[in-house]
Amino acid sequence: MDKTDTIKILDKNFELFLTEEEILNAVKKVAGEIAADYKDEVPIFVGVLNGAFMFVSDFLKNYPYPCEVSFVKLSSYRGLTSTGIVETLLDVPDNIEGRSVIILEDIIDTGRTLQELVHLFSNTNVKNFKIASLFFKSEVYNGEYTIDYFGMKIPDKFIVGYGLDYMEQGRNLKAVYQINQSHMINLVLFGKPGAGKGTQAGYLKEKYNLKHISTGDVFRYNIKNNTKLGQLAKSYMDKGDLVPDEVTISMLKDEVEKNPEASGFIFDGFPRTTAQAEALDNFLDSKDMKIHATIALEAQDEILINRLLERGKSSGRSDDQDEEKIRNRFEEYNQKTAPLKEFYEAQGKFHSVNGIGDIEEITERLSKVIDTLS
Ligand code: AMP
């Protein structure tokens, strides 16, 4: 690869993925397919800002028949779960009744934005509603809507250029570049309830610029907002039982997908079963990522129980207030989570750190392990 094939934007390295010519061929493919279907009417193309502006421009230059163009802009909403509420900054055009509308998207990945778009147009009286996307991450797409037209399928890697940004930069690049993940650090913080995983993750995420994902926190957020996921998890959490793997694994994947730009992740409270650990390995592998280290915070049960009861007085967490529930959480840990030590030891990734001491001192012990990772 020569020098111009790799670029740096802010803190991230990217390498050339698609040349201008390859992109233009994909644009022409979409334009040709749509032209064949719509040559007898005047469709309205609706570009989705900001990312699609370059695609819309080249698309129109290659669309040979009469047409109109308009744009929508969704707010860059990124909550923990989709609320179903669509926030728009630039709304649906007002002359679309009875017309054929074709959405022009730059990229479709999990389908979250698409779902919002479909919702946005669901109250309009259009003759015909279609979706065209230049890029399509078919492996991660889990929406119900069929993608009507796409330029090319691409693997699930973060891309930038040709309208697509990393932290708002890179939209002006003529080619498309793919992130180079070799500088990433992904950690699993391991340990019993009360070991200090959440506290330490809070410090480590700042120090190493990582994204902290606590499955317990995501569940609590969903319970607080009374989402379907929250309702499902509540009965298990109230008893101190683990939430079923299927639910937890798909939620975790979702959280990772929401952060394609992260420099790495701290997984806190996940994995907690062998099935979760295996699912995590497979999932990361499919994204060209991996776990670099699993670090256990060690402390004796009696100390942890006292810590949890103390925390329960201020946190309001019902599972921290009742010794019976705490003991059940430990039982779940011993039976289902403890075997993961061997799982990660077999991969040469398991590290143990003394979890008793000052918070800063413990952060230091963890940092020593992290600093040795390549
Ligand atoms: P935590 O905040 O990590 O102590 O988690 C609180 C509760 O959330 C646990 O007792 C479980 O009921 C549920 N939970 C959190 N993470 C997981 C997981 N990885 N698998 C299953 N249940 C989980």
Does 95 have pLDDT greater than 90?
no
CA of 119 to the centre of ligand 1 (A): 32
Catalytic annotation, residues: 197, 272, 311, 317, 329
Does 205 have pLDDT greater than 90?
yes
The minimum-distance atom of ligand 1 relative to the CA of 241 is 12
Residue 113 vs residue 293, higher pLDDT: 293
CA distance 116 to 183: 33
Nearest residue CA, atom 10 of ligand 1?
240
- Which of 221, 243, 331, when mutated, tests ligand 1's pocket best, judged by the most ligand atoms within 8 Å of its CB? 243
**Across 73-88, average pLDDT:** 54
Residue 80: per-residue pLDDT = 33
Q: Could you tell me if 196 and 298 are in contact, meaning their C-beta atoms sit under 8 angstroms apart? A: no
CA of 41 to the centre of ligand 1 (A): 55
Does 2 have pLDDT greater than 50?
no
The minimum-distance atom of ligand 1 relative to the CA of 237 is 12
Does 85 have pLDDT greater than 60?
no
CA distance 158 to 95: 36
CA distance 171 to 3: 20
Residue 92: per-residue pLDDT = 78
Does 25 have pLDDT greater than 90?
yes
Nearest residue CA, atom 5 of ligand 1?
216
Encode pLDDT of 274-291 as tens digits. Answer: 999 999 999 998 888 899
The minimum-distance atom of ligand 1 relative to the CA of 219 is 8
Task: Report which of 163, 124, 127, 156 is spatially closest to residue 140, judged by C-alpha positions.
Answer: 156
Does 94 have pLDDT greater than 90?
no
Does 72 have pLDDT greater than 60?
yes
**Across 243-250, average pLDDT:** 96
CA of 109 to the centre of ligand 1 (A): 28
H/E element holding 364? helix 359-371
Task: Report which of 133, 121, 130 is spatially closest to residue 88, judged by C-alpha positions.
Answer: 121
CA 239 from chain centre, in angstroms, equals: 29
Q: Categorize the per-residue pLDDT at 156 as very low, low, confident or very high, splitting at 50, 70 and 90.
A: confident
Residue 116: per-residue pLDDT = 84
Residue 123 vs residue 131, higher pLDDT: 131
**Across 223-252, average pLDDT:** 95
Residue 121: per-residue pLDDT = 87
Nearest 5°: CA angle at 360, between 359 and 363?
Answer: 90
Q: Categorize the per-residue pLDDT at 186 as very low, low, confident or very high, splitting at 50, 70 and 90.
A: very high
CA of 59 to the centre of ligand 1 (A): 48
Q: Residues lining ligand 1, CB < 6 A?
A: 193, 215-216, 219, 236-237, 240-243, 248, 269-270, 272, 276, 319, 329
**Across 74-84, average pLDDT:** 49
Which three-class secondary structure string do you get for 36-97? HHHCCCCCEEEEEECCCHHHHHHHHHCCCCCCEEEEEEECCCCCCCCCCCCCEEECCCCCCC
The minimum-distance atom of ligand 1 relative to the CA of 269 is 3
